Every structure is written in C-alpha cells, then in structure tokens.
Chains A and B, each alone.
Chain A
C-alpha cells in the first residue's frame, strides 16, 4: 500500500527537482529528509518482501531515490566547486615549466657527455647506449639512497621524472621504504608499486610493436 505512495512521491519530486536552482537551503534540506524517509521505508519493505519479483521492484524504486539523492548532491557539489575554483591558489605554470626544462635538460646533457666519452674510448655506438643507461640508472639510484634525487624531483617535477633516472628513482624508493616489512612481503611484494604500470604496459606495447614490425616486414 505504501509502495504506491512512495512511487507517487518520487515522481512528484522528479518534477520539483527540475527547479532545484530556485530552492533555498532549507528547502533542499527538506527534500533530503524526504528522500531519506523514502529510502528507509523502501529498505524496510525490501527486508520484509520474500518474493524475488517484489524485491526487484522495490530495488528499482530505491535506485530512483538514489538517483534523486545524487542529483541534489551534484547540485550542491557544483555550487561549491565554483567557490573552490575561485579561491584556489594559482599554479606557477611558467616557473614549473622552466624548472622542468632546466632539470630534464641537465640530466640529458650529463647522459650525452657520458655517451660521448664512452664512444671516444672506442666502444661501438649500440653498446655505448646501453652502458650509458646503466651508468645513469646507477647514479640515480645512488642519489635516491642519499636523499638527493627526492630534492631534484621536488624542484624539477616532470623534468626529473621522465628520463630513465626518474624510472630508477621510482624503483629504488619503494625498495628503501618497504625494507622494514621484510625482504619477501616488503621489498619483494612492493618494489614495483610505482614502476609496475610502466613495466607491465611497457612490455605489452613492445610486444605489440615487435609483432607489428614482424608482420609488416
């Protein structure tokens, strides 16, 4: 008997909610209370209903009530988001970009110098690249352990994150962090928490590219 009543109320409210912008806070509060009342009643009916069909009907009606609750919530959220956006501090885009350019560039220059030195010493170009990567990863890992790379990252942002040194940092830092939980469940389980996505999808993409090349050739 009450189910019909609630259904009617829900439909009436649907019309009201179209004009939510014209409501004041007290009226919105009232709507919220009404919604809560309906919701509670529906849960009670649902617990008493033994029939699967009846339960489903009630659940559908309950979902409608949830939709209406969400609508009110969204309205309040959007209203507040406007206020937040107005008062949010400005991100220093130019300064950040310059810092990233400077740090990233410096790392690349260091890498290039190392590469050139190795090539000058008579190592073939292909192997020299691999050696350079290893040296850079080693330097980054060492600086991470000494607590210096974190500072570079704080200043350089993406500039220190994008080169391979950033990748090394993302593996060494969890290893240091989770050592306290032991070598198995600590380091073993958590060393790739940050680098994991790169490793998984990096491998996946390289397989796809490799296959594509194979087929095209």
Chain B
C-alpha cells in the first residue's frame, strides 16, 4: 500500500485534491504594485467605507470567500468545513466571517503561514474522506497589524531598512475532491517545525523566518528525493528581500541550489519604488499572490508545478517585550497543473 506520508514530514495526498475556485482582494497599495491587474478586487482605500480597520479586514476576508464561492455558484452551506486564520488577536476576522456564513469552522493560526497551513489541513480532510469540499481563507491588513504589533498608525516613525510592509489583502480557496478534470491539483504538503535561531528584532522578520523556510524546503527534498529543478517555481510566503537571500544561502549550504527558480511573494507584490523597504509580509501576502498571480498561471499552463512555502513568525507584542526571541515556522504545499 502506498503511504500517505513520505520521509519525516512530507504528506502525500493519494487522492489529489483540487483547487476549484479562488479569489483575492487587496488594498490600493497592492493594487498599484506590479501584480495589481491580477487581483479580483482592489479596495478604493484601506478603510473601504467601514468604521474601523478591523471591520475592513473582516469584510475583505468575507468577500474573498464570497467571491470564490460565487465563481462556482456555490453557497457557504455547500462547504463541509471552513478553515481560516488571520493576524488579529484571537483571529477575530476569521471568527466573525465564520459567524456570518454559518459553516462548520476551524480557526487556525500560523502567523503568515496560516494560508499554507490551511491548504495542508484542508487537503488532509478531503484526502482522508472526511469531507468533499473545504473553504480556506486568510487575510491581513496593514493598519490592523501595525496598531496591534507595532505602533499607532499615525505615529511618525522612520521604518528601518529591514522592515517589511504588511500586505492589505486576503485570499480564499475552495478545495474539492474531484481529481478528474481539475485544472489545479494539490499533490503533496509538508508540515514544518518551529525554528528559532535567536533573532529578536521584530523589524526584521525576514531574517528570523529564513531558517524555518530553509529547513522545510531541504526537508522536503530529503523526504521525497526530488530536486529543485523538478519545480517550475519554488516560492516562499513573505521572507522579503533580506530573508529571500538568506533562505537561498541556507538551502545551498544543505546541498540544494534553488537560485534558478526561487522567488518570494513578498518580493513580487510590491515595486521597489513603492518604498516598502524589505518587501511585503502578512497572511494576505501569500494568500493574494497565490490566488491572483500564481494559480492563473498554472491554469494557463505557464507554470506546471509550484512548491509554495508559507512562512510565519510566531511572536506576540508581549513576548517580544519580555525579551523572547522569535520562533518561526514554515509549511509547504505542492501545487500542480493538469496540463
């Protein structure tokens, strides 16, 4: 019997799970970025007519799920499960979205790796036969993240060159159990370990998260025996410019050269001229880039397969103030086109 687990950490989905629908919503800054035209909906401004940033983020998450459902003419009740997470305390955006749609709900938190965590778990649910249709969503919002994790939004601080810009964006995905005729299939996943190499600077998350990403990437290659060349694209969630380079070096030290086909969602989403310093970050970064930019390319056949590694920094403002270092995690998912 073929095993559903390969090596130490890799999950092999024997009944390939397909992504049948997806949608992305981003804020105006992301809309002006290089990928601007590929998103489903661009907010007019970061408040979008709501009374608070938090409300806007919640609506954004809810609407991206509504879009993904509406594209296939599904209703929320057609979902067996809804898995979602975000960056706010007690993942309120996801909880309130689940309240609005009334679907069996599992709230998940993996900081900015939440989306990939959701995709891995959702695929496990479907592959295991516990359901046939699962909704996954995650979001982040620049202002809500700033005021919660750093400073009040209007405070005139000079951002360090290593700081990343939290993406205002959300993405939603509908996973389904129909291996026949699906354009996009999830074939493998990998659940990462929490790695902490002692970085404590909350203004340099890329450097903190790079070891976790590198660990997951090398572990995947070790587990499966595949090589970096087997993928059209290896892409991390939100390491940004600095973390991207570090991750590439760390993976190279382990004996795998990913320099030819490696990129990062946080690097792609903004133009250097947008003054975001080290690039984008946040749950919404990989969530919107995957739905807006990567999956359409898989459907068109421009990319045959990708290895997406979601990276998350698992810190809280309290733990940072108490002098703790930043534990980081990275989960991976292999997405393949059917062309």
Contact = CB atoms under 8 A, between A and B. Distances in A.
Interface string B65-104: 0110111000111000000000000000000000001100
A66 to B, nearest CB: 10
B322 A180 contact: yes
A33 B77 contact: yes
Nearest to A45: B70
Interface residues of B, number: 20
A185 B318 CA distance: 10
B40 interface: yes
Contacts of B318: 181
Nearest to B49: A59
B332 to A, nearest CB: 30
Central interface residue in A37, A182, A186, by most chain B CB within 10 Å = A37
Given A32-B102, A182-B321, A185-B321, A44 B76 contact: no
B41 interface: yes
A207 interface: no
Given A33-B77, A181-B322, A186-B321, A47 B49 contact: no
B331 interface: no
A171 B77 CA distance: 50
Tell me whether chain B's interface is mostly helix, strand or loop, or mixed: helix
Contact of A40 (B66, B102, B322): B66
A87 to B, nearest CB: 23
A174 B220 CA distance: 47
Given A44-B66, A46-B41, A37 B75 contact: yes
Interface in B100-136: 101-102
A39 B41 CA distance: 16
Interface in A5-62: 32-33, 36-37, 39-41, 43-44, 46-47, 59
Contacts of A181: 318, 321-322
Interface in A174-199: 180-182, 185-186
Contact of A36 (B63, B76, B321, B323): B76
Interface of B: 23, 25, 40-41, 49, 63, 66-67, 69-71, 75-77, 101-102, 318, 321-323
